[in-house]
Structure 1
Amino acid sequence: MTTSLLSYRIRAASLALLAGAGLTAGAVQADDQDKGTVKLSYVEWASAVASTNVMKAVLEQAGYNVETSSLSAAVMWQSVASGDTDAFLAGWLPTTHEDYNEKLGDQVDDLGANLDGTKLGLVVPSYVEADSISDLNEYADDFDGQIVGIDPGAGIMRLSENVVDEYDLDLNLQSGSGATMTAALKSAIANEESIAVTGWTPHWMFARWDLKYLDDPKNVYGGAEHINTVARQGLEDDMPEAYAILNAFEWTADDMGEVMLMQEEGNDPYKAAKQWVDEHPDMVNEWLEG
């Protein structure tokens, strides 16, 4: 028997067995097919880490390799506009990323909101006496004369700088990172001290501690926002299935909160996201069907 004939018979026998198991030759080809690599960029915010890792797990389930890159917000937008990365799921619009969208919006493909009902503002523990940003000067000494912020390139930091100016606050805005902000918040609450931080919803800290937003009577932070998925131009032609999955991705703040809380409790971000994906097959299948 020739090698080619033997290979043919082995292949035929394998397909017969798979057919008996309810599988098809098309399913085998889909599993064996290399669909390419999708490059996702994100910022080191708990919300973006959660959504990016969930999408990584979903795209891998669809047969893609996925690479993720942690970048500043400005570089994240630029990377998709230039085609260096394929997409991100952390476009806070219309206010937080307004500057980036005005500059690069015509160079990217905005797929619309993947989560509605976000909020930005200054956040304090509920036991703090101040209820409004206008009250902060009265209690400036209690806050050690500072507001604890995150990375300096974040849109919420730009808005918070405007808040300091608009309300003529006697507090300095301190930059850092999302991790250093929540660490400072944890320490202050443990000692029942006053602290004001740049905060946003959804975030796991609201599930962990009793917090409140300070009223913003001048509406510097704006109203409710939404988080959009943004893709590079040409992705729909290059990887139509991946594009369709990204376009179909939509979930709630509660969904995201489940993933963020698992991550904050010490779980590896990717493993936590993959666990969530495995536990929500109906929702994930809707995304996979595009």
Structure 2
Amino acid sequence: MKRLLQLFVLGALTALTACGGGGDEAAGSGSTGNEGQSEEAQQNSGNNKGETITFGKTSWTSTAGPTQIAKQMLEEAGYNVEIELLDQPVIWEGMQSEEIDFFMDAWLPYTEEQLWNEYQDDLQKVATSYEQVPTGWVVPEYVEAESISDIKENPEKFGGKIYTIGAGAGIVNTSKEVMADYNLEEAGFELMPSSETAMISELKTKISNEEPVIITGWRPHSMFVDYDLKFLEEPKENFKYDNVYVLSYQGIQEKYPEAYNILSNWSISVDDLEKMMYEHAQNDTPFEELAANWIEENQDKVDAMMEGQN
């Protein structure tokens, strides 16, 4: 317990420092969970009062929307809900120890294969959020290179840098494999872990000057709405299409049966999520507000999830 609490504090501080934000999700940690509910909803949700569900959330914007939607649905069901902003490996360790109840953004079977292999005996896939989404190295369309093999010939054109997100993330580990498989360090390239916010800032700056740049990318993400981008081909196939899952620990269905039933029917479209991410990026609209709007616009689907229906 002491070890995990120390990791929680360290992970939270790291994530807050790295992402330069966190907004409403970070502020939502430790919330009572009933704020914003109608009086009728609070009266009808007495069976779960006093039970607290804790979500692990990374600083990735792809995690923020689904986590906030799930939070609001479980609050409607009567749970108290907390969101812990943590580094990804700490979330998986937290689920193993049952101090984190759900994680809404696990990329499998490929991107987070190492973490899954380590924790799969203790964890389970609760639901599939969306399927067959790409990850890889991304450049602006005006860059002539079409594949990772192409960039090897001109590292100086890109300043010798590939910008990525926080160390420990699956896409960073895969990028290390790519660096090794294509001998890119010897060619003069360096992998630059930072944060999603810092990476996108670098992309924005380079595009504003029409300069070449390489980042790690994935869909869903608002960058593909904001900019004209392309994935570099990767012939050795380190990057593959993934599905995105809701994860929890073994036994969650007995510990919190209603929460499990609701989230086992969870799904969202890539288009819907990218629209939320774009609105947040363009107008700084809080994900809490975007989630409430999505729930209102998809009430039939939400009602079915709340009733435990597919």
What's the CA shift for 1:206? 0.3
Alpha carbons 2:45, 2:76 under 8 Å: kept: no
- Residue 65 (structure 2) aligned to one of 50, 62, 75: 50
What's the CA shift for 1:62? 2.0
4+ residue runs over 6 A deviation: none
Deviations 1:144-175 (A, max 9, x none): 01101110111100100111111111210001
What's the CA shift for 1:245? 0.8
- Report the secondary structure of 2:154's partner residue: helix
Work out the CA distance in 1 between the residues paired with 2:160 and 2:266: 42
- Residue 54 (structure 2) aligned to one of 12, 35, 39: 39
What's the CA shift for 1:139? 2.4
Q: Which moved more, 1:278-287 or 1:125-134?
A: 278-287
Alpha carbons 2:126, 2:260 under 8 Å: kept: no
| Partner AA of 1:229 in structure 2 | V
Alpha carbons 1:43, 1:71 under 8 Å: kept: yes
What's the CA shift for 1:234? 2.4
| Partner AA of 2:231 in structure 1 | Y
What's the CA shift for 1:109? 2.1
What's the CA shift for 1:192? 0.4
Q: Which moved more, 1:33-42 or 1:188-197?
A: 33-42
Matches within 5 A, 1:20-99: 29-33=43-47, 34=49, 36-99=51-114
Work out the CA distance in 2 between the residues paired with 1:111 and 1:196: 34
Work out the CA distance in 1 between the residues paired with 2:251 and 2:46: 25
Matches within 5 A, 1:252-263: 252-263=269-280
Q: Establish whether residue 241 from structure 1 lines up as the match of residue 258 from structure 2.
A: yes
- Report the secondary structure of 1:106's partner residue: coil
Q: What is the aligned partner in structure 2 of residue 140 from structure 1? A: 155
Work out the CA distance in 2 between the residues paired with 1:81 and 1:144: 41
User: Which structure's CA Rg is the greater one?
Assistant: 1
What's the CA shift for 1:262? 2.0
Q: What is the aligned partner in structure 2 of residue 196 from structure 1? A: 214
- Residue 197 (structure 2) aligned to one of 170, 174, 179: 179
User: TM-score, normalized by length of structure 1?
Assistant: 0.87
Alpha carbons 2:127, 2:267 under 8 Å: kept: no
Give ranges in structure 1 of 5+ residues lacking alignment.
1-25
User: TM-score, normalized by length of structure 2?
Assistant: 0.82
- Residue 104 (structure 1) aligned to one of 119, 123, 128: 119
Q: Establish whether residue 159 from structure 1 lines up as the match of residue 185 from structure 2.
A: no
Q: Establish whether residue 215 from structure 1 lines up as the match of residue 230 from structure 2.
A: no
Alpha carbons 1:116, 1:252 under 8 Å: kept: no
**Identical positions, percent:** 35
| Partner AA of 2:307 in structure 1 | E
How many residue pairs are counted as aligned between the two chains? 264
- Report the secondary structure of 1:89's partner residue: strand
CA RMSD, 1 decimal: 1.6
Q: What is the aligned partner in structure 2 of residue 224 from structure 1? A: 241
